[in-house]
Structure 1
Amino acid sequence: MISAAMRRTIKSSILHVNDRSSTSMIKAVVFGSSSQIARAAIGLLTNIHAQVLIPCRTSSKWVDYLRIGNFKFISFRQQLDLKDPDILDQVLENANVVINTIGGYHYIRDYDTLYESNVTVPRRIAEACARNPDILRLIHFSAVGIDPASTSPRLQTKWHGEQEVKAAYPNVTILRPTTIFGEYDNYVTRMGLIQQMIDYLPVIDDAKELRQPIYYKDIGQCVINCLRMPETIGKTYELGGPNVYSNREIMEIVYNKIGKPPNVRSIPYRKAHKFIQYMPHTFGFSRHMSLNDVEESQMDIVVSKDALKIEDLKVKPVSFPQNLMRILQDYQAKVDLTMDEALHGWYGGHDRTYEP
């Protein structure tokens, strides 16, 4: 085992960026590994031979898919109690990099649960990092649009979480992504699924709110570049895609990619807000339309003009329509199916793994 003194001499240069045959000296702990961001970051970390520890609150079966690539560099800690400081200290004992992607799901209605995910747990992780002198970098994920007075519980608690993390670990690097899209996301594929179920897409009012979608793998590259650039320590970056669209424009692009005429139906904000407030939480419904979705339909979620941007991390993000054909292939209109496709393809041929 490398002694603590030897690890401290590494300082911020923990990547061998010029030698492809060398092994990275990164020993990372990634919290929130079931998220899209963690999947992208872990894949890139293992590609450079970083040792990655993935803590799990329950069983690791929820993130077993992460074992597929470079599995020899990944280990798991199951049944982890994030409320116990001693357990957190044990998890971070041999680490020098901590990445926190923990955040409450957008459909969570219980404010206490959301507060614990976005504020309490990140604070405990930051305090554990402060107690460990071997931790060289802490990267914390927040969100664009955070505000202590926001009507969105998600954005409100994200702001409080940032303040708690900064107070506990001032050298934290904070990354604030905008709306994230990618394979198996909760944005574009959700649109495709809703359209497939009810044959139209509901929107709040005129859907004129602005979004700046960013591909999740670009965010993963931002994590790697933060580790390569010591000047990112203690700074906050807002990560957005190259283009800004209204929500209605995004839906029209999605319809164009799946090969169907746009069918968007407007719901007044007051009616939707009242319905969501009194609607009991059911996973089958609220995961597609939640209180956070309704509240955030009244605000623009784009990168601020005076913020440090993704370009400052030397990453050129891909445009929103560029990857949609692959992401939405399960929901594309399929015509002229052969009998073989109709018989063997899932849901009338909508099968990404179909082989004739």
Structure 2
Amino acid sequence: MVRNKKIVVLGGSGFIGREIVKNLVKEKADVIVGCRNIKKAGFLEQIKGNGRVTVVQTDVTVQEDVRDILQGSDIVISLVGVLYEIGKYTFNTIQAEVPKMIGVEANKAGVERILHFSALGADKTSQSEYAVSKAMGEETLLSVFPATTIFRPSIVFGPNDNFFNKFSNMAAFSPVLPLIGGGETLFQPIYVKDISNAVLKVFESTQTAGKTYELGGPSTYSFKELIELTMLYSKRSRLLLNLPFWLANIQATFMELLPNPILTRDQLELLKVDNVVRNEMHTLADLNIIPTACESILPTYLDASFKSTS
């Protein structure tokens, strides 16, 4: 149970984190959100509920910052991660080294539980540095805090998501949308509220400690099918153009020079492998959660006419 617990959420100002924070506050938790930019995260302190939220400026690459924010905490939820490298915030630093530091400092602080967000596709043998660093982070964290629970979500949907919204916005100004690698890669989109509910379920029992859960929705879709769903619920019709990996690699080389790249070569490596839950893994079903179909949620934020009448 999270009621009356002091819970530190690292990376809690992002799309998934804010939904988790809302749920924790409803359950009367004392939530401390650690993030780099407290101005952008200030809205979290306005969340209404039985608990409270405090935002603390934290650089997870600085051990003293991590040590300070974990003092007196009962639970740590880490959503720390980067989609692309910038400056000192590299895949290896943020996703491989920082998790171990969190585990070490959690032990010193007497933390009871850690929930660590990784990703489907985390694999030390992957050609993607992102996937390798995610796998290394799991391994190093478990080596110092074996009771860690790990979540590996597929792509996550909901208002303000980074997938469906991105392609819907692209379709607003582009007559063509690319199907990288032919759009054949498989995904299993999961609703952000299902994830936040799974977080609460994890802390209802100590039996979830030390387990890894792969989180996906009720259905599997190809990349092409997801783009088609985006067009359907955005009420836009665009030409879908097959873009072979070799050509996408050339484009990504130049896109990586942008401050906020739309596509990187490392992300292309991820797109070469299906992003779906494996049968032998723990899933939402083990937490007694029925996953939500994306077809029931996408119209509520992609369809402007729906939003104007709701």
TM-score bracket relative to the smaller structure: over 0.9
What is the percent sequence identity of the aligned residues?
A: 27
Q: Residues 8 and 32 of structure 2 are in contact (CA less than 8 Å); yes or no, is this contact kept in structure 1?
A: yes
Hey, what's the Cα distance between the residues in 2 that align with 1:187 and 1:126? 30
Cα drift, residue 112 of structure 1: 6.3
1:52 to 2, 7, 31: 31
Q: Does 1:297 align with 2:267?
A: no
2:231 alignment counterpart: 255
Where in structure 1 are there 5+ consecutive unaligned residues?
A: 1-13, 16-23, 335-351
Superposed CA RMSD in Å reads 2.1
| 1:73–1:38 distance in 2 versus 1, CA, 3 Å | same
- 1:29 partnered with 2:8: yes
Per-residue CA deviation, residues 218-245 of structure 1 (Å, 9 max, x unaligned), is: 1111110001121101111100000001
Q: 1:280 and 1:226 mapped to 2: Cα distance?
A: 37
Which of 130, 153, 165 is 2:107 aligned to?
130
Q: Give the gaps of 5 or more residues in structure 2.
A: none
The change in CA–CA distance for 1:84 and 1:289 in structure 2 (over 3 A counts) is closer
Q: Does 1:64 align with 2:7?
A: no
State TM-score, norm by structure 2: 0.92
- Tell me the distance in 1 between the aligned counterparts of 2:90 and 2:19: 26
Aligned to 1:120: 97
The equivalent of 1:188 in structure 2 is 164
Q: 3-state SS of the aligned residue for 2:196?
A: helix
Per-residue CA shift, 1:156-205, capped at 9, x if unaligned? 11011111111111110001101111111110000101111212211213
Do the aligned residues in 1 keep the contact of 2:124 with 2:136 (CA within 8 Å)? yes
Q: CA deviation at 1:36?
A: 1.8
Secondary structure at the counterpart of residue 260 of structure 1: coil
What SS does the corresponding residue of 2:275 show, helix, strand or coil?
coil
Q: What are the within-5 Å matches in structure 2 for residues 150-229 of structure 1?
A: 150-229=126-205
2:247 matches 1:268:
no
State the distance in 2 between where 1:163 and 1:60 align.
30
**Which stretch of structure 1 is more off in the superposition, 191-200 or 211-220?**
191-200
Distance in 1 between the 2:88 and 2:66 partners? 24
The answer as to 2:78 corresponding to 1:96 is no
When residues 25 and 279 of structure 1 are mapped into structure 2, their CA distance, relative to the original with a 3 A threshold, is closer
Could you tell me which amino acid in structure 2 is paired with residue 185 of structure 1? Answer: D
Question: What SS does the corresponding residue of 2:150 show, helix, strand or coil?
Answer: strand
1:108 aligns with 2:85: yes
Deviation at 1:260, TM superposition (A): 2.7
Q: Provide the rounded CA distance (Å) in 2 between the counterparts of 1:230 and 1:200.
A: 50
Change (3 A) 1:207 1:39: same
Query: How far apart, CA to CA, are the structure 2 residues paired with 1:291 and 1:39?
Result: 29
Structure 1 length-normalised TM:
0.81
